[in-house]
Amino acid sequence: MGLTLFDKIWDAHVVAQIEGGREILYIDKHLIHEVTSPQAFTGLQSRNLPVFRTDKTIATADHNVPTINQHLPIEEPLSAKQVAMLVENCKDFGVELYGLGHPNQGIVHVIGPELGITKPGMTIVCGDSHTSTHGAFGSIAFGIGTSQVEQVLATQCLLQMKPKKMRITIDGDLPPNVLSKDIILYLLSKLGTGGATGYFIEYAGSTIRALSMEARMTICNMSIEMGARGGLIAPDEKTFDYVKGRAFSPQGALLYEAITYWKSLFSDEDAIFDKEIKYSASEIAPMLTYGTNPGMGIKVDQQVPIQTDHESPESFSKALNYMGLKSGQSLEGMSIDQVFIGSCTNSRIEDLRIVADFIKGKKVAANVKAQIVPGSKQVEKQAIEEGIAEIAEAAGFEFRQPGCSACLGMNEDKVPRGKYCVSTSNRNFEGRQGPGARTLLASPLTAASAAIEGKIVDVRKYPS
């Protein structure tokens, strides 16, 4: 019987099998950040242990950093303390840190790929659920809790049960102005937030193959929103081209050797998945969420439903009540207050280029506060060099410094109570962007058009 892409990578990393079906899984790269690591370092200290493999551990500050005046001390005392703790821990334990002000700093899932830390065939973990992003390179990447962060720091390993495998195949051409974010929001609307619990997803099909690396990352990023442990895509020439020449990429003969190996990473024709689902790209449209979980999404020209299969009537009406929306209502044409372009889902250079192309020469509507928060220092630098920052500011967007920002509202970037924010991030939970904030998840193009028009519009009606 053939092997899946997932099996090939997983099996190569099993140190030992133990009773009861658990396996000791070796981790190639461990990414850490300020929010989920302090208690893990404290654990190491109390056990008097060093970091087992410092060369496989990289840290950055992203979750609660301010997105303006990053050269000044952090004003909010608790955030300042957490970031200072990270600096201290990294120094004490000998871990490489891309902290505030470092040219490599940024959202942990943006910097991994852009520095060439993320490569095919790897196992990658981080104390953050959107670690699934890195799966776009054909790696097994998943989020872990702080106790597991401590385990990996201490042993470079985790105890894991091998998850089940699911393949989602999407074939055909996407309609104009429909982006990879729309694909994943569409999948979520079909499968719900628990639809892939217990599975690791492989995304396949001609639609996925045709996507750029950055677009693939957006899809893998939100795998966790369907309850999956992670998502991955078989590496191909696009993957190899992307990885080549980056700071942590292999070079010369080693690169050649690596690519030869990476080319063996695909699901065999006779591989068996525990579950298979197929969709056609032509049925996908610009998507928006209307509720308080990412599975509550509709096509831009549809109406808010009366009920879904995934929520009980009580939960459903609680969500609509929070959002201030009614069944049967259209989102298209609805007035909005804020636009957030950022987060590890959509803050890479390609996302910013899409936004810049759309807003160039236009003005943000008077009723809208619009922000672009680049995913990393490198994205920020590139956006300035390419004139994107200038286009954004001329249009009336704020162009901020890198960090997680309004994705989770840990810093001062929050959406005020009751306000509607069209956001390119990944979660629309109650209070996620601030207490009482109402989030509508969408693609960068739908978000950009909402900023300019001051309301939700169907981007298919614009030239692509």
According to DSSP, residue 134 is labeled: G
Which one of residues 172, 175, 198, 305 is an interface residue with another protein (CB under 8 A)?
198
Per DSSP, the residues of 400-459 read --SSSGGGTT-SS--PPTT-EEEESSS---TTTTSTT-EEEE--HHHHHHHHHHSB---G
Which one of residues 50, 94, 145, 324 is an interface residue with another protein (CB under 8 A)?
145
Work out whether 205 is an interface residue with another protein (CB under 8 A).
Answer: no
User: DSSP alpha helices (H): ranges in 32-174?
Assistant: 38-47, 77-93, 108-114, 146-155
Orientation of helix 77-93 relative to helix 38-47, angle to 10°: 40
Rounded CA separation 329/456 (Å): 13
Please, which residues bridge with residue 17 across strands? 23
Q: Name the minimum Å distance from CB 105 to another protein.
A: 19
Work out whether 70 is an interface residue with another protein (CB under 8 A).
Answer: no
Residues 392-421 that bind another protein (CB under 8 A): 408-410, 417
Binding at 426: pick from ligand SF4, another protein, none (beta carbon under 5-8 Å per type): ligand SF4
Rounded CA separation 101/392 (Å): 23
CA dihedral 120→123→124→125, nearest 10 degrees, is 160
Work out whether 159 is an interface residue with another protein (CB under 8 A).
Answer: yes
Spatial contact of 40 and 149, defined as CB atoms under 8 Å apart: yes
Work out whether 309 is an interface residue with another protein (CB under 8 A).
Answer: no
Binding at 343: pick from ligand SF4, another protein, none (beta carbon under 5-8 Å per type): ligand SF4
Work out whether 158 is an interface residue with another protein (CB under 8 A).
Answer: yes
Which listed range, 78-86, 301-309, 363-371, 386-394, lies at the site for another protein (CB under 8 A)?
Answer: 78-86
Per DSSP, the residues of 147-198 read HHHHHHHHHSEEEEEPPEEEEEEEESPPPTT--HHHHHHHHHHHH-TTTTTT
Q: Name the minimum Å distance from CB 308 to another protein.
A: 11
- Distance between alpha carbon 216 and the CA centroid of its chain, in Å? 10
Residue 63 or 216: the one with the smaller Cβ distance to ligand SF4 is 63
Residue 85 or 272: the one with the smaller Cβ distance to another protein is 85
Give the β-pairing of 164-171 and 199-204: parallel
Residue 108 or 395: the one with the smaller Cβ distance to ligand SF4 is 108
Q: Name the minimum Å distance from CB 120 to ligand SF4.
A: 22
Q: Name the minimum Å distance from CB 408 to ligand SF4.
A: 4
Tell me the per-residue interface mask from 1 to 20 with another protein, x by CB under 8 A, - otherwise: -----------xx-xx-xxx
For residue 268, the SS3 value is: coil
Residue 7 or 128: the one with the smaller Cβ distance to ligand SF4 is 128
Which listed range, 171-179, 183-191, 422-430, 453-461, lies at the site for another protein (CB under 8 A)?
Answer: 422-430
**Rg of the chain taking only CA atoms, in angstroms:** 21
In Å, what is the CA distance from 95 to each residue of 6, 41, 118, 128, 170?
29, 11, 17, 18, 41
Site of interaction with ligand SF4 (CB under 6 A): 62-63, 107, 109, 128, 130, 343-344, 404, 407-408, 425-426
Work out whether 143 is an interface residue with another protein (CB under 8 A).
Answer: yes
Q: Name the minimum Å distance from CB 63 to another protein.
A: 8
In Å, what is the CA distance from 390 to each residue of 28, 117, 382, 394, 399?
39, 30, 12, 6, 9
Work out whether 432 is an interface residue with another protein (CB under 8 A).
Answer: yes
Residue 14 or 384: the one with the smaller Cβ distance to another protein is 14
Rounded CA separation 258/119 (Å): 10
Binding at 82: pick from ligand SF4, another protein, none (beta carbon under 5-8 Å per type): another protein
Q: Name the minimum Å distance from CB 395 to another protein.
A: 29
Spatial contact of 275 and 228, defined as CB atoms under 8 Å apart: no
Work out whether 430 is an interface residue with another protein (CB under 8 A).
Answer: yes
Q: Name the minimum Å distance from CB 23 to another protein.
A: 11
Q: What are the φ and ψ backbone dihedral angles of 386, each rounded to 5 degrees?
A: -85, 0
Residues 89-118 that bind another protein (CB under 8 A): none
Spatial contact of 406 and 371, defined as CB atoms under 8 Å apart: yes
Work out whether 39 is an interface residue with another protein (CB under 8 A).
Answer: yes
73-83 burial, b for 16+ CB within 10 Å, e for fewer? ebeeeebeebb
Residue 216 or 427: the one with the smaller Cβ distance to another protein is 427
Binding at 417: pick from ligand SF4, another protein, none (beta carbon under 5-8 Å per type): another protein
Residue 22 or 209: the one with the smaller Cβ distance to another protein is 22
